[in-house]
Amino acid sequence: MGLVGIATEKVLSSFSVFLFLTILLMAVARRISTSVLLFSLQSVVITAEVLAIAFQEKLVEAYVVGVLVFMIKVVAIPRAFFLLTKKLKTVRDVKASTTPTQSVFIVALMIYLSYAAVHSYGQAIHVPVDALAAAVSLILTGAFLMVSRKKALMQMLGLLVLENGIFVAALITTFGMPLVIEIGIFFDILIGLLLMGIFTFRISDTFDHLDVSKLRRLRG
């Protein structure tokens, strides 16, 4: 492994710290806008990881993916979220069902669990353990945000964090999927968000609120 290879590995490992930071901050964020901003920062870190791998492996496709990540996850999606919050005129609170202290504790526990889970795999497939643990904890945190935040918008955001985790996992283990597939996945995410946006409008129209936990008419 050359000097560049070692440097890339270190970059991936140390950038994991930033990823951990974003999810811990998301746990305490009280406003939707703060969470969106944190998601945007998280995507900046991921863009940097993509570019580092593109540089090391000299993959042109990976550069394209890096640009796509930046355009979609750092610029487009956060803007769409801000637009949506403005149009929906919703209260800015995320409506958490856990206190910030509890949330931080749970996310920290998830980070610990991720390390425990990936320890054996990471060494077997020669990838930085920190980066793999970061990916898994992003997935877990995304799921946690989805179940613990009552706002429809926060569920969308949780889904995006979860998806970011899967993206990082794919990136560090296989240097990403083939480009066509990667573009297809981005396209699906965009359409999915568009539809969820349409549904948030419908929820606020038919129910006069965006509190998903109050949608419990259908039972049994």
Partner 1 sequence: MCQNCAGFGAEGMLLLLPIAIPVLGACIILGLRNPRLATRAALLLGGLEIAALGVVIWQVHTHGELQAGRYLRADSLSSFFLMSIAFISGLVLVYASGYLRHTGEGRFSSPRWFYALVFLFLFTMVSVCLSANLGLLWIMMEGTTLASALLVGFYNTEGAVEAGWKYLIVCTVGIAFALFGTIVLYLAAVKAGMNPAAALDWVSLMNAGPRLGLDLSLLKLAFVFVIVGYGTKIGFVPMHSWLPDAHAEAPTPISALLSAVLLNCAMYAVMRYDAIVSHAAGPAFPHTLLLIFGVMSMVVAGLLILVQRNLKRLMAYSSVEHMGIIAIGLGLGGPLGLFGALLHTFNHSVAKSLLFFSAGNIRHNLGTLRIDEINSMSRTMPQTSAALLVGSVAIVGLPPFALFVSEFAILSEAFTQARYLVAALFLIVLSIVFGGFAYHLFRMLCGEPGQHPENPKLIPSEYMTMGIAGLCLLFFGARIPNLFSVLLREAMAVLR
Kindly state whether residue 169 participates in binding partner 1, applying the rule CB under 8 A: yes
Nearer to partner 1, 18 or 175 (CB): 175
Kindly state whether residue 93 participates in binding partner 1, applying the rule CB under 8 A: no
State the binding string over 108-127 for partner 1 (x if CB under 8 A, else -).
-------------x--xx--
Both structure tokens of 137 = 């904890």
To the nearest whole angstrom, how small is the minimum distance from the Cβ of residue 168 to partner 1?
11
Nearer to partner 1, 44 or 170 (CB): 170
* Total of residues contacting partner 1 (CB under 8 A): 39
Residue 75 contacts residue 23 (beta carbons within 8 Å): no
Residue 195 contacts residue 137 (beta carbons within 8 Å): no
Give the Cα separation of 214 and 210 in Å (integer): 9
From the list 6, 12, 3, the residue with the least C-alpha distance to 52 is 12
Kindly state whether residue 187 participates in binding partner 1, applying the rule CB under 8 A: yes
Beta partners for residue 149, in sequence order: 96
From the list 94, 175, 186, the residue with the least C-alpha distance to 131 is 175
To the nearest whole angstrom, how small is the minimum distance from the Cβ of residue 101 to partner 1?
26
Nearer to partner 1, 3 or 220 (CB): 220
Site stretch for partner 1 (CB under 8 A), options 13-21, 80-88, 103-111, 152-160: 152-160
Alpha helices in the chain (DSSP H): 3-28, 32-57, 60-69, 77-88, 100-124, 129-148, 152-174, 179-207
Residue 53 contacts residue 62 (beta carbons within 8 Å): yes
Residue 145 contacts residue 158 (beta carbons within 8 Å): yes
Task: Give the phi and the psi of residue 156 in degrees, each rounded to 5.
Answer: -60, -40
Site stretch for partner 1 (CB under 8 A), options 22-30, 39-47, 100-108, 178-186: 178-186
Q: Site for partner 1 (CB under 8 A): which residue of 202, 209, 211, 213?
A: 202
Site stretch for partner 1 (CB under 8 A), options 4-12, 19-27, 48-56, 211-219: 211-219
Q: Which residue has the tokens 């995320």?
A: 94
Binding interface with partner 1 (CB under 8 A): 121, 124-125, 139, 143, 146, 152, 155, 159, 162-163, 166, 169-170, 173-174, 177-178, 180-181, 184-185, 187-188, 191-192, 195-196, 198-199, 202-203, 206-207, 212, 215, 217-218, 220
